[in-house]
Amino acid sequence: MKRLSGTDWLVRLPRCRVHGRVPRLWYCLAAFVAVWVFSCTAMVLAQQPKPKEYEVKAAYLYNFGRFVRWPADVPAAQDNSFPICVLGQDPFGATLDSTLVGETLAGKPVVVKRISRAQDVGDCRIMFISSTEENHLKQIARLIVSAELLKVAATVRKTGQPGD
C-alpha cells in the first residue's frame, strides 16, 4: 500500500456525488475552522482568572446568611435592609460591594456597612471582624454578646465568650 504524503490525502477523499468533483477546498476550510474554534476555546478557558481570597470570603458571608434561620422578632434595619458589617480595616475593598449588589437575604436587600467600633454594630445582622481587631476580640465579644447577629472573624483565636 502506497503511503500518502503532503496533500496526496486530498486525492483520496470521496467524490461529491452531485458535482462529481472532490470538494477539497471545503474539507480544508472545515478542518481550519475546527482547529481555530478548538484553539480559541482552549485559550479563553485558560485565561479565566481564579477567584481571589476575598472574593471567596465575600461569597461565603452571603451564603452564611442564606443558611441561617433568622429570628422573626429581630427589628429590621431603619431602611428595611439586611446589613452586613465589616468591623476594622476592610480587607475586601470593593469586592464585597460588587459581590453583594442586588442580593437579598431574609427578603431584604443586602447592604454593606463599614464600622470602626463594635459599639456601632447597631442593626448589623452579619458582622465580619477583620484581622486588625484580633487583639480586641474579647472586648468586642463582650460588647456584642447580646446582639442578634452572626459573627464571622478573620482569625481562629477563641475569645472565651458564648458563641465561639
What Cα–Cα distance (Å) separates residue 48 from each residue in 44, 45, 51?
Answer: 7, 6, 9
Is 162 a residue whose pLDDT tops 50?
no
> Can you tell me the mean pLDDT for 4-16?
58
CB 121 within 8 A of CB 147: yes
Is 163 a residue whose pLDDT tops 50?
no
**Tell me: the pLDDT tens digits for 22-51?**
566 667 667 777 776 777 666 666 666 777
DSSP H helices, the chain, are: 8-11, 24-47, 53-66, 94-100, 137-144
The string of DSSP letters for 102-117 reads T-EETTEEEEEEEESS
20: confidence class by pLDDT, cuts 50, 70, 90: very low
The pLDDT of residue 13 = 57
H or E stretch at 84: strand 82-87
Domain ranges in the chain? 8-47, 53-153
Euclidean distance between CA atoms 122 and 138, whole angstroms: 19
Q: What is the percent of the chain where pLDDT is above 70? A: 68
DSSP 5: -
- Our measurement of the distance from residue 52's CA atom to the centroid of its chain's CA atoms, rounded to an integer in Å, reads 9
**Tell me: the pLDDT tens digits for 113-123?**
999 888 888 88
Residues 6+ apart with CB under 8 A from 87: 115, 116, 117, 118, 121, 127, 128, 129, 130, 133, 140
Is 80 a residue whose pLDDT tops 60?
yes
Residue that is written with C-alpha cell 427589628 in the block:
75
**Tell me: the pLDDT tens digits for 101-159?**
999 988 889 999 999 888 888 888 899 989 888 888 888 888 887 778 888 887 765 54
7: confidence class by pLDDT, cuts 50, 70, 90: low
Query: Does domain 53-153 match CATH 3.40.1010?
Result: yes
Residue that is written with C-alpha cell 486530498 in the block:
10
* pTM (two decimals): 0.64
- Our measurement of the distance from residue 102's CA atom to the centroid of its chain's CA atoms, rounded to an integer in Å, reads 14
